Structure 1
Amino acid sequence: MAYTSVRPTVGGNRRVFDQGISNGASYDAYARRFQSRPPLMYKWISLATSAELAQLSMHITSEYNPALVAKLLSQGISDAVKGVLIEYNYIDKDYRSTYYSFYSKKGQYYRSDCVRLHFFDQTVKFDDANAALVCPDRELNDHYFGYMVLRPTGIATIGRTVLSPDIRKGAGRFIITADHKVHLLGYKLVIRGFPSMDQHVDISVCAHAACWSILRHYSERYNVHREYLVHEITIMAHEFNPGGLVPSKGLQIAHAERVFQEAGAFPIHIARNATTGTKDHPFYRQLIAYVESGFPLFAAMHSRRHAVALVGYEWRQPVKGHSGLRYAWDEVETLAVVDDNHLPYVSIPKSSGTPYAAEAVDAFIVALPEKVHYPADAVDRLAPALFTLGRAIGLPPKDDTIVRYFITTGSSYRHFAREHASEFDPKLLQYIMTLPYAQFIWVVEFSTEEQWANGRVEARAVIDATASLREQMPLWLFHSRTDALIFDRKQVGQIASGMGGLKLANIGHAGFSRMDRNLRPTQTK
C-alpha cells in the first residue's frame, strides 16, 4: 500500500492515511488487520520418511520449483531428517547479487526474495505460537542438518546450500568441511559441510558454481579470504564486464584460474598427459594428495564438458598380495564431488566403466596459500628416492610399501603428535615439538600392506613446503619406529653435514597412527 503522510484525528491518538482513509471506522478496519495473525513466515513439516518431502509442493509456490526439489531431496537424503522448517521471504545475498545485476533488468518479473529450508532430526519440534524450535536437551545445534536456499527462477532453483554429509545417501568417507554460521529465529546455529548450489543456467554455468563453492568454503574456513558472491565471480572470470549473455555460454579452465587469482589465492593448473591419458598415474597421485591436504579442487572433465569441485574420497577395502610400490591413489575407491546437477557429496567411482568416474578428470586447479612453494609433483618424485636414505632408519621393503603424502601445518602436526604421545620415543617427541617448521609442511607416510589395512604407519618424512625445487634435501625430519634423521635447515647449503641420527627406544606398538586430520569423517545417520 502506498501512502504519503500520517496525521492525528480529532479523536486523539488515532491516525489516518491521506490516501482514502478519512474516518475512524476506516482506521479501525486497518488496525484490525495487524491485530490478527501476522503473515506466514515459517511452516513446519513433520516427516516419517524422506519420501514425504513431496509435501513441499503444498507450501511453496511454483517459481521455486518445489516438486523437483522435493524429488532430489527424497532421493538424496536419509530418513534421519524428520522435520523441515520452511522460512519464507528469506533475503539471500548470493541471489540478490544476480537479481540486481541481471533478473531485475529482464522483461519477465522475478521475485527478489527466496525460500530457505532447514533440516532437523526427530527430537526437534516447532512451537508455532511462540515461533520457537524446541528439543528436549536444548542442544539444538546437535540436531540440525543444514539448510537449502530456493531461488524464484523457475529452473535451477537450488541456491546456496550447506548440508551435513551425515545425511547424504552414499556420501564418501572423508569430506572437506568448514563451519557455516546460520541465524534462525534468534538462534545461532553452526553446520559443518561444504557449500553447493545449482548453476543459474541463464547467467552462470557449472564452472562458476564450482568456483563459488570453493571460494565460499575458503571464506568460511580461513580468515584471510573474503566472501565472493555469484555475480562477482561471473565478473572476475573476465577482464571486462561480460554482461548477461557471455557467462552462460561457458567458462574455460583459464577463466577459472583467473577467478582464483582475482580472489587472492595462488592457483596451480595441472593437466593430465594427453598421450598416457588415464595411465598418467602421477597426475592422479597429485590429485588425491591435494584433496587429502584439505584443498578442494576445481576439476575439469573435458569429455563431459563439465566442471565439479572435488571435496573428498573413500578408501577401498584393503587388497593383499600386490607386489611393487603402491601409493594412496591406488587405494582410493571413490571420490566425493560437489556437482551442480546433484545434491552435494556425490560419490563417483575411481575407475572407468561407468559414465561418471574419477578418471574422467583430465585437469584440475588447486588454489594454494602463498607460502606453499614445493608442489605435489616434487614430492611425488622425492618420495621413492627417500628409500635410499631410508636404509639408515629401516624403511620396509619397497615391494611391500604404500606411500601417502599430504600438506598440513606445523602446528597441526605437533598437535597430532601430542595426542598420540604414547607412540613416540620422548626424544623424538621433543624434536617434533621444537623443530622450527615453516607454517606448511608435507608429510610423507610409509606403511606396509598390513599396517595400511589397520590404519598404521611404519615411517614418516616431514618436508618443508616452502622449500625450493632445486633443493636436494628439503627435509625437517625422517623417522621410523627405531631410528630418526634430524635435518638442520638453519644454514643454506647444508645437506649431510646438517643431518643428525637418533636411535629410538622400542615403544612396542605395531606402527604409528595414520594422520587423518584434514577432512571430516562421515557418520551416516
Structure 2
Amino acid sequence: MSITTIVCLPHELKDELVQIMQDEFAVSLQIAREAYEGMLEGYFCRLKAGVQFVIEYPYVDKVYRDSYYAYFSSKRRVYQKNCIRVSVFDGIVLPDQFRNAKGIASLRERYRGFMVIRPTMPHVIGRSVLSPHALQQHGFFSLMGRFPTTVNAVRFEARGFPHASQDRETLTCSETSLWAMMEYFASRYAEYKPVVPSDIIDMLKSRSSSRQIPSEGLTIEQMSFALREFGFGTIAYDRSEYSLTSFTNLLSVYVESGIPLIVVVSNVHLGGSVRHAAVIVGRSETTNADIDSLSSVEEGSAELAEMMKRKNISIEDNADIKRRFVFIDDNYPAYQIAPLESPMAYYEDDAWRKCEIMQVLVPLYPKVYLDGLEARRYIKELLLSQLFRIPSGAKLFIRIYLTSSRSYKDYLAIEDSFSDHVRNAILSMQMPKFIWVAEVSSKELIKQHKANGLIVVDATETNTIYDNALIVCCYENRFCYRKVEDNKLVNNSLSLNEFNIFTNNLKGF
C-alpha cells in the first residue's frame, strides 16, 4: 500500500480531510463532517494566517496501534488500524522543496509540528505535537519537548508539548495526562521512556479492583503510583490541607521550576458531578503591570508572618503574581489559558467553569527530597536571619524555583553580569543534581529581569536545622557558603553585582 502525500492550503483543508476520513476510516460523509466540525475545526482555526498543511495517509501511529490491538480490534464493529497525519508549516510549501537541500532547510526552519487523526469517531485527535508559535496568540511560556519525525520521507523535529484527545474507551483524561507527561519527559531525559496505553494498564493491574477496559478513569492514588513506577519521586498535594493562597503559590513555584503538573479539577464539592485531570505546562508572560499590582501576601506560616512583622520587612513573592497558566486538556486544543483560581475558565459550560483545582501531582526527580513548601519556608527564614541583615523597612521581591545544578552552572558560566569572583566561587562549588534557587530583587529591578541577591539550597537535604541545606547565599557585600569538607559555614566579603535572572526553565520571564 503506497503512502499518499497532499500539500494543502487552509481553505482546502476541510474538504480534503472529510473526504480522506470517509475513504480511509470507512465512515459516512455525515460522520466525517461531524468529526471535522466537532473536533478538528476548533484546532485548526486557532492557527495563525499563512500556515500550510501536508496530509499523509495511511499513517501508522504507535499510540493508536497499541490501543487498536489491545482493544479496538476485538470489537464487532470494524475499526481501521491506520491513521492520517497532518503536518503544519509556516508559509508556502511546495512539493519539490522536499527533494532538494535548500528547500528542506527552509521547510525545517518553518516546521510547526503535527497532528494524528485516528479512526475513533468522533474523538479523532491522536498523538499530536504543535509549537505554540503556530498559534495566532502565543504570549505565554510553555514547556516543550523535541520529537523526531518525518514528513514526505524527510526528517524533521517537532517542538511542543504532547497532546491528544481521549477516546473515552482506552484513554480517559487521567490516562492521556499520564501519557503526555511521560512523552514529554522521555523527549528531554534519557532516564525516562515513553509509554503507550497498554503500559499504563499493565502498570496498574495490581492497583485495580475492577476491569480496566473500557476505562472509567483513574484515582489520584493510581496516577501517583503509575508515575512512581515510571521513575519519579511523585508528591501529591491536596487543597484541603492548605489555604487557597498557599496552594496556588506552591503550584506557581513548581511551574516556575519548569515542572509539568497533573491537576485534578472538580466541582463535586459545590454539588456538581465534574471530575477531570489536565496538565499545567507553563504560564503567561510577566508584565510590568503584573509586578506593579503585586502586594505582600500574608504568610501561611504564623512563625514567618511574626518574623516579618517583628523585623518590619516586606517580602513580595513572584509566585503570588496573578498570572494565567497554560493547560493541556484533552477536551480542548493544546495550550488553553486560565488562572489557577478558575482553571476551566475556557469552557463554555457553566458547570465546568466552576471547577477548582483540588489535587495536584508533582513528578519530581527521585532524589529531590526538599519539596517546594519546605524550600520556600526555609529560604524566607534565611532572608530574615542574621546571614542577610536586611534593614528594617526593606521591601524585597523574591523568585524561587527548582533547577538542575548542571543547567544553573551552564547559565552562570556565560552570564557575565555576575562579578567574576562570585561567579567563579559558585562554579567551583560541589552541588547535588538538583538545587533550589532564590533570586532576591526589587520591583524596579525585576522589571529589568535583574536581581541583586542569591540563595542556593540543596534539594536533597531535608534537615534545615543549623542551615545544613544551605549551599551559598550572597547579598550586597556578604558572601556565605557551607564547606563540604567540614560542613562549616564560611562568611566572606564579596560584592555581588546586579545580575540577569535565570530563565532556562521556561525560556523566559
Give yes or no for TM over 0.5: yes
1:490 matched residue in structure 2: 485
1:184 Cα deviation from its structure 2 partner: 2.7
Residue 379 (str. 1) matches residue 375 (str. 2): yes
Bigger mean CA offset, 94-103 vs 163-172: 163-172
State the one-letter code of the partner of 1:401.
L
Could you say what the CA RMSD is over the residues aligned between the two structures, in angstroms?
A: 2.7
In the TM superposition, 1:327-476 aligns within 5 A as 327-352=317-342, 354=345, 360-389=356-385, 391-393=386-388, 395=390, 400-421=395-416, 423-469=417-463, 471-473=465-467, 474-476=469-471
1:330 Cα deviation from its structure 2 partner: 1.5
1:246 Cα deviation from its structure 2 partner: 4.6
State the one-letter code of the partner of 1:78.
K
Q: Would the alpha carbon gap of residues 232 and 444 (structure 1) be closer, same or farther in structure 2, given more than 3 Å must change?
A: same
**Partners in 2 of 1:100 and 1:44 — Cα distance?**
31
State the one-letter code of the partner of 1:403.
I
Q: Would the alpha carbon gap of residues 168 and 204 (structure 1) be closer, same or farther in structure 2, given more than 3 Å must change?
A: same
> Which residue, 290, 293, 302 being the options, matches 1:318?
290
- Structure 2 gaps of 5+ residues are 26-31, 268-273, 297-313
- CA deviation map 1:116-163 (0-9, x unaligned): 100012143223xx9748865733221100000111111211010000
In the TM superposition, 1:271-310 aligns within 5 A as 271-273=238-240, 279-303=243-267, 304-310=274-280
Residue 503 (str. 1) matches residue 487 (str. 2): no
2:53 matched residue in structure 1: 84
Give the 3-state SS of the residue equivalent to 1:361 in structure 2. Answer: strand
> Which residue, 195, 202, 206 being the options, matches 1:239?
206
Identical residues among aligned pairs (%): 24
- Structure 1 gaps of 5+ residues are 1-37
2:93 matched residue in structure 1: 124
Answer with 1 or 2: which has the greater Rg: 1
> Which residue, 15, 23, 27 being the options, matches 1:55?
15
1:94 matched residue in structure 2: 63
Q: Would the alpha carbon gap of residues 77 and 401 (structure 1) be closer, same or farther in structure 2, given more than 3 Å must change?
A: same
2:145 matched residue in structure 1: 178
Give the 3-state SS of the residue equivalent to 1:199 in structure 2. Answer: coil
**Partners in 1 of 2:418 and 2:144 — Cα distance?**
30
1:44 matched residue in structure 2: 7
Whether contact under 8 Å (1:440, 1:464) holds in the other structure is yes
TM-score (norm 2): 0.84
1:106 matched residue in structure 2: 75
Whether contact under 8 Å (2:3, 2:56) holds in the other structure is no
State the one-letter code of the partner of 1:280.
L
Aligned length: 466
**Partners in 1 of 2:124 and 2:411 — Cα distance?**
42
Q: Would the alpha carbon gap of residues 58 and 204 (structure 1) be closer, same or farther in structure 2, given more than 3 Å must change?
A: closer
Whether contact under 8 Å (1:296, 1:310) holds in the other structure is yes
Bigger mean CA offset, 255-264 vs 213-222: 255-264
Give the 3-state SS of the residue equivalent to 1:194 in structure 2. Answer: strand
Whether contact under 8 Å (2:282, 2:506) holds in the other structure is yes
Give the 3-state SS of the residue equivalent to 1:405 in structure 2. Answer: strand
Whether contact under 8 Å (2:440, 2:452) holds in the other structure is yes
Whether contact under 8 Å (1:80, 1:167) holds in the other structure is no
Give the 3-state SS of the residue equivalent to 2:411 in structure 1. Answer: helix
1:40 Cα deviation from its structure 2 partner: 5.5
Whether contact under 8 Å (1:172, 1:312) holds in the other structure is no
Q: Would the alpha carbon gap of residues 447 and 115 (structure 1) be closer, same or farther in structure 2, given more than 3 Å must change?
A: same
1:258 Cα deviation from its structure 2 partner: 1.4
2:302 matched residue in structure 1: none
State the one-letter code of the partner of 1:430.
N
State the one-letter code of the partner of 1:313.
R
